Amino acid sequence: MSNQPRKELNDDHKLTKLCLRITNHDHDAEQELVQHFLPYIVTIVGRKISVQYQADIVQEVLLQILIKLRASEIREPSALKYYIGSIVAHIIAKTFGFLQAAQLVSFEDVEMESHSESAFDNIAANDKKIALLSAIEGLPQPRDQQLLKALLFSNQEKMSICLQWDIEPTQYDRIVHRAKNRLIKAIKR
């Protein structure tokens, strides 16, 4: 019986009717839609973030979809699957951006910063950063520029960069390696 809604929703016409019923605040239609898309949403979210955040993200995605459908803001129900992917990416980026902003500096970081070698060392380090930033900005590919800045200057983690730039984690190492190689070639010129 739980597979029946999935079979029914494979037809675009039936999905359109279901979305119309949701627009008319039919709670049974909402349940049917949730039953149909929940496994898909869980799969997408599970590929992108750790388990501790998955339930909250899935719930937020479902809530946003239902709100948009109730307000008739989704015009192509047949493209709902793709719209869901977009909502997932947006919510994850928003959530992780908030989580990163909320993180506090640890005491170890403060101690390390206060024990810097000398003002001359700081100036030399800043000069190196400026030269590196200039080389990155000279790269012809904007994606390489943004990716390397996030990696080298923002100290973002792999998953955060993957989410922000919509990169599959399995492709991350290859993409970063190529961007670094292009940067090295640009510096050597």
Instruction: Kindly give, in sequence order, each residue whose CB lies less than 8 Å from that of residue 158, ignoring residues fewer than 6 positions away.
Output: 169, 172
- CATH code for the part of the protein at 107-188: 1.10.10.10
Look at the domain 4-102 and name its fold.
Answer: Rna Polymerase Sigma Factor; Chain: A (1.10.1740)
Q: Which amino acid is at 70?
A: R
Q: Convert the pLDDT of each residue in 23-57 to its tens digit.
A: 999 999 999 999 999 898 888 888 877 787 788 88
Q: What is the pTM of this model?
A: 0.48
User: And the tokens for 46?
Assistant: 């599970």
Which residue intervals of the chain bear CATH 1.10.1740.10? 4-102
